Amino acid sequence: MRDIKFALAAVACAVASASMAQNLQSSYFTEGHLYRHTLNPAFGNDQTYISMPALGNVNVHFNTNLPMDNIFYNVNGRTALFLNPHVNTGEFLSGINDKNKISESLKMQILGVGFKGLGGYNTIEINARQSLDVNLPGDLFRMAKEGLENKTYDMGGLSVNANAYAEMALGHSRQINDQLRVGAKLKFLFGFANVDAEVNTARLTLREDAWIGETDAKIQASIKGLKYETEEKLRGPEGEQSVHQYVNDIDIDGVGMNGFGLAMDLGAEYKLDNNWSFSAALLDLGFINWSNNCVAATNGLQQVRTDKYLFSVDDDAKNSFDNELDRLTDDLATLYELKDQGDTGSRSKALAATMNLGVQYTPDFYNKLTFGLMNSTRMAGSYSCTDFRLSANVAPIKSVSATANFSVGTFGCAFGWVLDFHPNAFNFFIGMDRPIGKLAKQGVPLSKGASLSLGMNVAFGRK
């Protein structure tokens, strides 16, 4: 029980320490925004640009369907976790879903340029990217908060995925005819870290006549210089003790490139007439081949039943109370002990691909105003999510554009906005797909997520 509470507290702290979708989705229809090509490689620009080093395009996002104000509470003027005894159990559990998702990502452009040439528009980017996805079953929170009751707690589906890599992207888009424009990007990927942790089975059935525990868990970590540290303990009754060796920590000796991969972005835009245009894109279609895949696992399904232990009042019997209690403790330990399976070599893992679909309408009465509907779907197995965004976009003068939008999807509803200033010689933009909203005293967002995107670039050549 203490281990479960510690794990949940660690997850909460990790989320709190995260800075905050790796691109500014609100800018999909924002005229003059230099980085629309990150959402659809078919989009081009009127301007040539050179990004400010590490400041050209910075995106930090944090999304969850679990409101953080249901994890962090104000108790006597201080911020406390839901585990605090002063937090009402019924109030806390009313905000817990059966499947709770947390997603955090960072994308920072180190260097970037965009220019006309080769019959179209070209982009060159060097980006640093990082992502963290967590799935938390509702029963994990219920067990931690309620304590042990006579019921079944199913915590299978608990999983964590983390990635850190750099990419060099070469993009090109061109006009095929008056109506159709297409584009593509080729990305060279340089992996630094990947961690996949999955608890396929974690079930605890508490009955009056027996407790039944089952676990099946596995961690795969591809980080250069990583090794699992193990601990050995003698367990079992005296005279029948056996050595248990299990992972109790990790050690990382240095940081370096530990994988290589390729990916592509594909996109198209079709202008039906002066009023309607349609667009579609598939992003991050590719993989990274990771080296040094270090595995730790329970070695399949582990099960413990308490009704198989028969206690004797005779202290000298093999099944004396002390001996059987030692055996029970020994077996319970196997439920969460991970065995080091060593470096299993390389493995290839697909990126989380994203599909963007858009339709835009320009009214006849004012062609500087447009309305757009965009759907963005991230295809990543159990971490998949989708978002529909309805926006109004205006560009009253050539050097200024703005967007306001409303979205609904996996992570609930939100308002987004973008302000973009793009006169000759300079470009600055700032926007949010999800406002930061109320913060705890420690700076933790208490809503269902937060995001911030901004950039500064040297831009010139507008017609």
DSSP state, 104?
A: E
Reported as a single tens digit per residue, the pLDDT across 113-168 is: 999 999 999 999 999 999 999 999 999 888 888 876 768 889 899 999 999 999 99
Cβ(404)–Cβ(417) below 8 Å = yes
User: Which structure tokens are listed for 170?
Assistant: 């070469």
DSSP state at residue 359: E
Res. 246: pLDDT tops 90 = no
Question: What is the share, in percent, of the chain residues with pLDDT greater than 70?
Answer: 85
Q: What mean pLDDT do residues 244-269 have?
A: 90
**Residue 199 to residue 178: CA distance in whole angstroms:** 53
What three-state secondary structure class fits 147?
coil
Q: What is the mean pLDDT of residues 332-348?
A: 86
pLDDT-derived band at 6 (thresholds 50, 70, 90) equals: very low
Query: What is the rounded CA–CA span in Å between residue 393 and residue 455?
Result: 19
So what's the pLDDT on residue 10? Answer: 41
For helices 138-146 and 2-17, give the axis angle rounded to 10 degrees: 120
Cα separation, 458 vs 428, whole angstroms: 9
pLDDT at residue 212, as a whole number? 86
Cα–Cα distance for residue pair 218/166, rounded to 1 Å = 26
Q: What is the pLDDT of residues 9-37, one digit of tens each?
A: 444 444 444 333 679 999 999 999 999 99
Q: What is the pLDDT of residues 354-401, one digit of tens each?
A: 999 999 999 999 999 999 999 999 999 999 999 999 999 999 998 999
Residue 279, SS3 per DSSP:
strand
366 vs 329, higher pLDDT: 366
This prediction has a pTM of 0.88
pLDDT digits (tens, 9 = 90+) for 143-157: 888 876 768 889 899
Residue among 313, 26, 35 nearest 185 (CA): 35
User: Cα–Cα distance between 327 and 324 in angstroms, integer?
Assistant: 5
CA angle 455, 120, 457 (to 5 degrees): 15
Is pLDDT of 8 > 60?
A: no
Q: Write down the pLDDT at residue 326.
A: 66
Quick one: pLDDT band at residue 433, thresholds 50, 70, 90?
very high
